Amino acid sequence: MQPVSSDKLRTRLSGIIWGDAKTGKTTWAMSLPGRKLLINFDPDGFISVAHRDDFDVFDLSVLPAGEAIEMSKKIGTYILDNADKYGSVIVDSLTTLTSLALEDAVMRGIGKSAKFTPTLEVPGLLAYGARTTNVQNVIERIMRASGQKNLHCFFIAHKNDPEFDEDG
């Protein structure tokens, strides 16, 4: 094994955009170079950028939790097979992906025993573990595929729902 010279290293932007809901994170992410592949988990997540013609979307928000998780695990292969079409990959949002992964774990009964039935309100440690495993798996597959093809890759997460006063 030999070291690689720095002039041969790939250069890309990758990271996470985190902030309040409805503050322009998706709009900012769409400023990434090239045609974008948007992997959408949020209902209406891409509405703010729907007028644009520089992206394709996997709208997983319309699928039940289990199907959305399984489909998202296959997107890395799609990225590898279609990288020449894109300059950037955007995942919107990790917050919703995490919720879907927990819902999937509960629906599959992860952690169920004779004395305990997981629910969304009280999922239990094993369901939380399954959630974490699935989210890490999805992130890793997308990061590896986009990195292998030198595509920019950003993940979006929001910390809360917007709050409105009496004037909106």
What is the tens place of the pLDDT at every residue in 85-137?
999 999 999 999 999 999 999 999 999 999 999 999 999 999 999 999 999 99
Q: Is 112 exposed, middle or buried, given 0-12, 13-18 or 19+ CB atoms closer than 10 A? A: middle
Strand partners, 46: none
**Percentage helix, strand, coil for the chain under 3-state DSSP, each rounded to 5:** 45, 15, 40
Contacts of 23 (CB under 8 A, 6+ apart): 162
Q: What is the pTM assigned to this prediction?
A: 0.88
E strand or H helix at 99: helix 94-107
Amino acid in position 73: K
Q: What is the model's pLDDT at position 131?
A: 97
E strand or H helix at 88: strand 88-92
Q: What is the pLDDT of residues 9-42, one digit of tens each?
A: 778 999 999 998 888 999 999 999 999 999 999 9
